[in-house]
Amino acid sequence: MYQALLDKNSQYEGVFIVGVRTTGIFCRPTCSARKPKYENVEFFPSTKDALANGYRACKICRPMKNYQSAPDWLVPLLKEVEAKPEKKWKDFELSLMGYSPSRVRRYFNKTHGITFQTYLRMSRINGAFLKIREGQTVTKSAFEQGYDSLSGFSETFKNITGFTPGMEGQIITINRIATPLGPMMIGVTDEGLCLLEFTDRKMLETQIERLKKRMRSEMVTGQHPMIDKVSEQLNEYFEGRRKEFDVKMVVPGTEFQQKVWDALNKIPYGVTRSYKQQANVVGDVKAVRAVARANGENRISIIIPCHRIIGSDGSIVGYGGGIHRKQWLLKHEFENN
């Protein structure tokens, strides 16, 4: 595949997508951009996989679909999206432009295996993550990719934060870790784990912003012993060799949220509870909706096992990481219990 990339071999179009680690961009095999070194690339079977692993579409070869080969009705929208990568396109805006949101959604599903909104969301997150990785890093400036409350990557981390030992606030080290259910974004401080979410979760941007505000923290991409420890224990969990996690956690939240998350931590491996049962454990059987809301605001997936909460009728509902992942996790624990 690397040789095909060097040769711009068109016979490999549709066979693989290449991600360039040094730029955070993914390309077609025939891309005309300068070729990266072999140690700086990784290959994916689809654009969906490249997006899920943190890469953004190349503007030279346009792997999300060349304008020339895209249907005529979609070309103007693709140009608008490329010109405004930070924009959050709403269905009503598409309708005002003369597009059928369902038609756009079907096209992206058929061509790339993801919806149009999922593509936009992942592109924004990946763009912000790339800038964090480049070192111009603070949460309040990381998400210029369409997040109005954050300013933009205009200075280096040191110049913007001005953090020195003894000052209020702290640094959250973030990175991505691979799991059998897809890549996850992890955030840690010296005190413990504070973020563990699947990178395609809809609420990820909101969770990061809330975490930043609650911890008065800044973010920088890097390595940390806690990341290695969490990654190791997650691998053991997915291999069926670990039922309890032994990692320190930092979970800022309201008093009620703390009660809900603490109750989640006490649900044994392989056991499920209903939202009503969880409300009873928390101490207010009438607070089912509040419990469900706090459950959804959990920022540490799997380790704080919100996936063990199910509907009163036994149905598998309400999981930010996706119902398919919740089903997998419950089946995995049942079979290894």
Contact by Cβ (8 Å): 311, 275: yes
3-class DSSP assignment, residue 121? helix
The residue behind tokens 């899920």 is: 52
Distances (CA, A) of 77 to 62, 73, 116, 203: 14, 8, 11, 25
Distances (CA, A) of 99 to 18, 82, 94, 103, 188: 31, 17, 5, 8, 42
Distances (CA, A) of 129 to 22, 204, 287: 13, 12, 37
Contact by Cβ (8 Å): 202, 118: no
Q: Residue 316, Cα to own-chain centre: how many angstroms?
A: 22
Long-range contacts of 314-323 (CB under 8 A, 24+ apart): 318/292, 320/197, 320/198, 320/201, 320/202, 320/203, 320/296, 321/181, 321/197, 321/198, 321/201, 322/198, 322/200, 322/201
Q: Is 306 a residue of the active site?
A: yes
Task: Tokens for 59, please give them.
Answer: 């503007």
Phi, psi angle pair for 264, to nearest 5°:
-60, -40
- Cα torsion 108, 113, 115, 120 to 10°: value is -90
In the chain the beta strands, taken as DSSP E runs, fall at: 17-20, 25-27, 41-44, 56-57, 170-177, 184-189, 192-198, 217-221, 273-274, 309-310
Q: Among positive and negative, which fits the CA dihedral 10, 11, 16, 20?
A: negative
Residues near 210 by beta carbon (within 8 Å), at least 6 away in sequence? 297, 299
Q: Which residues are marked as active site? A: 306
